[in-house]
Structures are given as C-alpha cells and as structure tokens.
C-alpha cells in the first residue's frame, strides 16, 4: 500500500517516512502544495497524510495557483480540495497539524477529510489510525509497534546548537540520542570548536543512525564559545523547517526538560528570546561556594547596570530565539568569547529600543540546573569578565 506524506518540516517527514516504511508501506513525501499535487497524480497513493500549514510555491506553476485556497495559513487544504473536487477521488486523507482553529478544522471536514490529528501526537497513534483507514499486515504492525512507543511529533520544530570544545567524555552520554529518539521535533547540531582531543570522532559516532536528527558543524580552529554558538545558529537558520533555534551546553547542566520549558514559553508568547535563569538554584551550596557566589552576584549587578535591564542571570548557557531573530542577532561577530549573551541583549536594544526590547525578552527560572564538573570559569576568568563588560558598554553605548 502507498502513502503520500506532505509537510514542510524535514523532521516530520523523516519520522513518518521511517515509521510507516518500517510497517511495510511504500511512502513518498512532498514539502509544498504544488509539488504534492504533482506527486499525487504520479504516485496515486492509497492514503494521503497532509499538514495544513504549507508553502504554496506559486512561481513554479501557473494555472493550478488560481484555485489555491485564499487562506494561506491553511494552504494544505488545497491538496484535499484537489483530491475531492477536481480529481473526484475518494482517497482517504488524514490531516495532521498544530492548527487548532475550529473554522479550519470544520473546513477540512467539509472538504472531505477522513481524520484530523492535532500535534503533538505519538507515532503509535498515527500508525494505529493509518491501519484503521487502509489496513496493514497484522504481524508487521505487532512486530514494529515496540520500536515506536514514546516517540512524539511536536507542534513545532526546534534546532539546538551545542558547542563542544574537548568534550569527548561528555559525548559518551546516551542522553542526546535518547532525547532525539523520543522528541521527533528536535534537531541537535553539535559544533566542534577546534577540539584537540577526540571530540570530532566522538561526534561522528554519536550521529550514526541519527543523521536526520543529529548533525556536526566542524570549526577547524578554536574560536571560543561565542563564535561556535554564532556559527551554529547561522547554520541552522538556513533551514526553514525550524520555528525556533537555541543553544545548550554540552555538559547538560541545563538539561533537556528545562530547555523544553524554554521552548514551551516562547511558543505560547510574543517573546523573541527566552533565557534560562539559574538564580533559584544557586543557593543550594552557598556555604561551600560563598566566594564564587559573591563574585557572581557582583558581576550580575554590573551587567544589569550596563544593560539597563533587570536580568538576574545573563550567563546561563541555555537560550531559545525565534528563527527570524537569528540573522539580526548573530550575523556579526561578538566582541568577547564569554559575554556574547550580554551582547545579544545589547543588540536587541539597538534594534528595538530599551522599552520594546524588554517586552521581547523573557528570563525563565530553571528547575533542575546543576553545576557539572569542570564547567565553571576560574576566579581569574571571573575578573577578566569585568574588563570585557567595560568593552561591551563602550562599543554599544
């Protein structure tokens, strides 16, 4: 049996193509409305699974564009319209989308949709509904179901930059593979920042079998964390499939649960940057780290005065931004290797002005953050930061 899957996000297509192919179906994919119409006529599928929010790509076709549904936020319904009204086919059509507009849902069923599934949803649910619509070999479904449990397609696609410098041992953790295997809307981009150990080799091993979900961006020379993050952010921003792009430290001192909270916050708001804040977690070992605590608080106070914003923790290594903001914030090199987070906020002020920038920035307290061994700056480095703050203040004055 043949299934056509239509979605503009490669992570979704990758997940559905693999899981449905494993179940014995022949699967072909399209990334926009007009290519989907061509493929439908050529492939003649037994089932169509289509997202609603799709690009049209009108410049490549003529007459077909005239009948595109005017509501471009639901352009994927054009595929259903074509199948039912123009081809007069009864091919089952399953709508898969994060669009919860009741009017759009109603329009889909009026056009003849057989099923509607709202993201996020599990691959298990999708395969069960596919079986209900067109059937499958019973033995194949039972055999393969054990491999797709606990795998979810999110309602957004997120790219995560993870800078790495001599992180070979940390990369032996199975946490990275576990996360992308379960959360199918995420892509991890590891940036090797000119490591002198076997980090690059470890990264190549890490991505084996996960090529669509884990990628490696290699910087031959060590340029510092700021440049590694910048290069990774710009690299991912070239892919239109991502709604949000963020960065996370390889030591996972901010873990994936907390990072997902940052994504959830930016998705449900008008913020363009959501940053983690470790302040609520820093008091746990205050007796042991009193000197470091005092220095950290002093630096944070100076940064707040420099920014003119009341952010309590600008240096947390976990942030997420909308894809549209990557280019204006990361296209130019940063002045410093450590305080690029402060520079990002300064650039926001340059673009929007102080008051408007404050409305677009959010600091979210982390629930689970811990110090990872070897992840702290030295006392000497802490004092160097003071000079760099002055450099930033002068440059962005």
What stretch of H or E contains 47?
A: strand 47-50
pLDDT for the residue numbered 204: 94
C-beta separation of 96 from 105 below 8 A: no
The owner of tokens 């981009």 is 189
Q: Tell which residue, 289, 302, 290, 261, has the closest CA to residue 371.
A: 289
Residue 157 to residue 236: CA distance in whole angstroms:
12
pLDDT digits (tens, 9 = 90+) for 119-168: 888 999 999 999 999 997 555 544 444 444 578 888 899 999 999 999 99
Domain that holds residue 375: 156-395
Burial 92-107 (b: 16+ CB within 10 A, else e): bbbbbbbbeeeebbeb
Phi and psi, residue 153, nearest 5°: -95, 115
Pull the structure tokens for residue 30.
């399209």
Could you give the 3-state DSSP secondary structure of residue 94? strand
List residues bridging with 186 in a β-sheet.
158
Q: Please check whether residue 151 lies inside any domain of the structure.
A: no
pLDDT for the residue numbered 217: 97
Q: Which of 112, 145, 178 is the last residue of a domain?
A: 145
Pair 206, 315 in one domain: yes
**How many structural domains are present in the chain?**
2
Pair 138, 247 in one domain: no
C-beta separation of 353 from 309 below 8 A: no
Q: Which of 99, 119, 145 is the last residue of a domain?
A: 145
Pull the structure tokens for residue 279.
């302040």
Burial 243-269 (b: 16+ CB within 10 A, else e): bbbbbbbbbbbbbbebbbbbbeebbee
For the chain, which ranges sit under pLDDT 50? 59-62, 65-71, 141-148, 281-288, 375
pLDDT for the residue numbered 142: 44
What's the chain's Rg over C-alpha atoms?
Answer: 24
Pair 134, 194 in one domain: no
Q: What is the largest distance, in Å, between two alpha-carbon atoms of the chain?
A: 75
* pTM of structure: 0.85
Could you give the 3-state DSSP secondary structure of residue 339? coil
pLDDT for the residue numbered 58: 52
Pair 116, 160 in one domain: no
Pull the structure tokens for residue 259.
């990072």
């Amino acid at each position: 049996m043949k299934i056509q899957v239509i979605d503009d996000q490669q992570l979704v297509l990758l997940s559905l193509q693999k899981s449905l192919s494993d179940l014995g179906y022949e699967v072909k994919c399209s990334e926009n409305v007009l290519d989907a119409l061509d493929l439908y006529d050529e492939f003649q599928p037994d089932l169509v699974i289509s997202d609603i929010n799709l690009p049209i790509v009108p410049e490549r076709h003529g007459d077909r564009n005239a009948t595109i549904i005017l509501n471009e936020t639901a352009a994927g319904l054009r595929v259903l319209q074509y199948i039912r009204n123009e081809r007069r086919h009864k091919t089952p059509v399953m709508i898969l989308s994060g669009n919860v507009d009741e009017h759009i849902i109603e329009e889909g069923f009026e056009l003849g949709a057989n099923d509607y599934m709202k993201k996020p949803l599990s691959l298990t649910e999708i395969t069960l509904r596919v079986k209900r619509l067109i059937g499958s070999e019973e033995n194949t479904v039972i055999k393969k179901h054990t491999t797709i449990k606990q795998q979810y397609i999110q309602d957004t696609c997120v790219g995560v930059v993870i800078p790495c410098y001599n992180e070979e041992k940390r990369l032996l953790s199975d946490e990275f593979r576990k996360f992308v295997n379960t959360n199918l809307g995420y892509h991890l981009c590891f940036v090797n920042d000119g490591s002198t150990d076997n980090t690059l080799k470890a990264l190549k091993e890490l991505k084996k079998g996960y090529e669509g979900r884990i990628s490696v961006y290699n910087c031959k020379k060590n340029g510092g964390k700021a440049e590694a993050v910048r290069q990774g952010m710009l690299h991912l921003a070239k892919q239109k499939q991502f709604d949000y792009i963020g960065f996370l430290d390889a030591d996972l001192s901010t873990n994936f649960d907390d990072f997902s909270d940052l994504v959830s916050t930016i998705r449900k708001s008008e913020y363009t940057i959501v940053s983690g804040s470790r302040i609520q977690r820093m008091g746990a070992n205050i007796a042991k780290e009193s000197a470091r605590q005092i220095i950290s608080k002093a630096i944070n106070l100076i940064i707040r005065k420099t920014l003119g914003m009341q952010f309590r923790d600008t240096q947390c290594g976990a942030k997420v931004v909308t894809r549209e903001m990557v280019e204006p914030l990361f296209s130019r090199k940063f002045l410093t290797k450590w305080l690029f987070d402060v520079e990002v906020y300064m650039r926001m002020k340059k673009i929007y002005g102080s008051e408007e920038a404050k409305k677009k920035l959010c600091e979210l307290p982390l629930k689970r953050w811990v110090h990872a061994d070897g992840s702290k700056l030295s006392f000497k480095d802490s004092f160097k930061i003071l000079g760099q703050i002055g450099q930033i203040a002068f440059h962005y004055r």
